[in-house]
């Protein structure tokens, strides 16, 4: 029995930022996005980590759903855990249309789903 099922789609990080390294990451495999979208993603990620701290990531799951993931180092006493939850909900609300468009793009381009069925 094979313990790895490579037919199962894996998650893919779209972008992220870290308050620890002061760096932003955009997955080069998704570099075909318009420049304005890339800048909006960068601004969102960097502002989150500047205000809250820790690490902020946007991640596509195996089904093409875009999820927000946040984390912090265990000894980070400056990380605002309550603020993180509040800001995640605000980002989800204010960027709902952007996230939906990114999910459609990912499903069509990377998962090979028919855009007409989406």
pLDDT at 85: 95
pLDDT of residue 21 exceeding 60, the answer is yes
pLDDT of residue 3 exceeding 70, the answer is no
DSSP strands (E only) in 42-112: 55-60, 66-71
pLDDT at 1: 42
Residue 65 resides in a domain:
yes
Domains: count for the chain: 1
Mean pLDDT of the 13-22 span: 96
User: Confidence band (pLDDT; 50, 70, 90) for 8?
Assistant: low
The continuous run of DSSP H or E covering 95 comes out as none
* 32-87: pLDDT as tens digits: 899 999 999 999 999 999 999 999 999 999 999 999 999 999 999 989 899 999 99
Beta bridge partners, 66, equal: 60
Residue 117 resides in a domain:
no
Contact 23/45 with Cβ under 8 angstroms?
A: no
**Residue-range definition of the domain harbouring residue 79:** 12-109
pLDDT at 9: 61
pLDDT at 7: 56
Residue 19 resides in a domain:
yes
Residue 1 resides in a domain:
no
Region of residue 38 (phi > 0: left; psi between -120 and 50: alpha; otherwise: beta)? alpha
pTM (whole model) above 0.95: no
pLDDT at 32: 87
Region of residue 54 (phi > 0: left; psi between -120 and 50: alpha; otherwise: beta)? left
Beta bridge partners, 55, equal: 18, 71
């Amino acid at each position: 029995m094979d313990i790895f099922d490579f037919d199962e789609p894996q998650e893919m990080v779209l972008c992220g930022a870290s308050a620890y390294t002061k760096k932003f990451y955009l997955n080069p495999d998704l570099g075909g996005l318009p420049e304005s979208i890339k800048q909006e993603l960068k601004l969102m990620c960097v502002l989150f980590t500047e205000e809250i701290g820790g690490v902020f990531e946007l991640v596509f799951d195996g089904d093409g759903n875009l999820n927000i993931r946040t984390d912090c180092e265990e000894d980070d006493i400056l990380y605002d855990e309550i603020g993180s939850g509040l800001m995640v909900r605000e980002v989800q609300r204010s960027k709902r249309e952007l996230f939906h468009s990114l999910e459609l793009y990912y499903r069509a381009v990377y998962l090979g789903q028919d855009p007409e069925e989406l």
